[in-house]
Amino acid sequence: MTAQGARAWAALIGFLLAAYAVAAAGALASADAATVYTSLDVPAWAPPAWLFGPVWTVLYATIGAAAWLVWRRQAAPDRRSAITWWVVQLALNLGWTPLFFGLGAYGAALIDILLLATAVSVTILFFSRVSKAAALLLVPYLGWVCFATALNAAIWTANG
């Protein structure tokens, strides 16, 4: 393996670790998330608690891989902005779980997730200017965040 190849693999691992670090921090902030979730008044269309872990596991992999695809395009003019927005959305993602599960602040969590949906949308826009594949990898994430936004709003309304 060349030094450039080793650097590329190291970067992929770094982006995946960053994404999964957010997941791990969320898990620590919501150790009793399943108990909290099942105690809430949720809409009939709410998924079961066990579904969130597998969905997020896949989404965090796509989030990390998408950033890596953008990072690899060293000469792309929008690369820096794209990675900056990726960091912004990841920070907003990190903030949601402690707000919702840790503090039970469903209204504040709703504001955070609305900002997250916006940041993911902007990230997709910038990623599309650098790598169409990277942008497409984030589309399921945006879909899930939009669904989670509706669920957060419904839970806040029913439990606020």
Angle at 70 between CA 68 and CA 71, to 5 degrees: 60
> For 79-122, how does the pLDDT look when each residue is reduced to its tens digit (9 = 90+)?
999 999 999 999 999 999 999 999 999 999 999 999 999 999 99
User: 3-class SS at 1?
Assistant: coil
Dihedral pair phi/psi, residue 101, rounded to 5°:
-90, -40
Q: What is the CATH number of the domain that holds 145?
A: 1.20.1260.100
Please give the Cα distance from 112 to 39 (Å, whole number): 22
Please give the Cα distance from 109 to 100 (Å, whole number): 5
Tell me the residue range of the domain where 96 lies: 3-159
CB burial string 145-160: b at 16+ within 10 A, e below = bbebbebbbbbbeeee
Please give the Cα distance from 96 to 69 (Å, whole number): 26
What's the pTM?
Answer: 0.94
In Å, how far from its chain's centre is CA 110?
A: 15
> For 126-149, how does the pLDDT look when each residue is reduced to its tens digit (9 = 90+)?
999 999 999 999 999 999 999 999
Please give the Cα distance from 17 to 67 (Å, whole number): 12
The number of domains in the chain is 1
